[in-house]
Amino acid sequence: MLASGPIRILGIDPGSRITGYGIIDSDGRRSVHVASGCIRTTDSGLPARLQVIFSGVQELMARYHPAAVAVEQVFMARNADSALKLGQARSAAICATFQVGAEVHEYAARAIKQAIVGIGHADKAQVSHMVAVLLNHREALQVDASDALAVALCHAHTRPLKARLAALPPLQAATLARMPGRPRARAAGRGLRR
């Protein structure tokens, strides 16, 4: 896949009750909002909810034909049962993309916030605001849809770098992957001898 060409990306913010989706067209420098919303399940049992998520994502794939799918990774919550349900909802959404053959990419919540807001511990309001700014979107976005658009934008922003790293010879790519990040700036007054 060329990093410089335009691509349609489906971002998914999985949830067992509400799964957010956001679709953008991006060339790596500029992204345009195509569609966003939520797949809402009923209060029925988990298998029925997973079927709704699976069918909803299949419908999105058939309607919008994204070339890439970006999904938020599951984080370990305090409640193991909730984490398992979230993982199953995520799996249902990912499996629904297989028939079309789009590439699937996963991103940690911290990486998504870092790519969109610039800090990994940003709150939902900050993420939603930056999503609206980056997409020049004037209408209010639902929280889950905004989160899904953030996942799609994260992939759009990191895709060119991934393509450049993939084009490097294996030894050089491995060396760059092992390099530590920039050192953090020290807080004012810390580390000074008195």
Catalytic annotation on 13? yes
- Residues sharing a CB contact under 8 Å with residue 66, sequence separation 6 or more, in sequence order: 8, 9, 10, 23, 60, 100, 102
Which residue out of 43, 81, 144, 147 is catalytically annotated? Answer: 144
Q: Which of 109-118, 122-131, 165-174, 181-190 has the lowest mean pLDDT?
A: 181-190
Question: CA-to-CA distance for 27 and 160, rounded, in angstroms?
Answer: 9
| Cα angle 55-57-61, degrees, rounded to a multiple of 5 | 115
Which residue out of 43, 59, 72, 106 is catalytically annotated? Answer: 72
Q: Domains of the chain by range and CATH?
A: 7-178 (3.30.420.10)
pLDDT tens track for 106-157: 999 999 999 899 888 888 889 999 999 999 988 888 899 999 999 999 999 8
Q: Which residue has the higher pLDDT, 130 or 176?
A: 130
pTM over 0.85: no
Which residue out of 13, 25, 81, 103 is catalytically annotated? Answer: 13
Q: If you count DSSP H runs as helices and E runs as strands, how many of each does the chain have, helices first? A: 6, 5
Catalytic annotation on 81? no
Q: Which residue has the higher pLDDT, 160 or 69?
A: 69
pLDDT tens track for 59-82: 999 999 999 999 998 776 577 888
Res. 29: pLDDT tops 50: yes
Token pair, residue 175, equals 């060396």
CA distances from 47 to 67, 96, 180 (A): 28, 15, 44
Question: CA-to-CA distance for 191 and 88, rounded, in angstroms?
Answer: 47
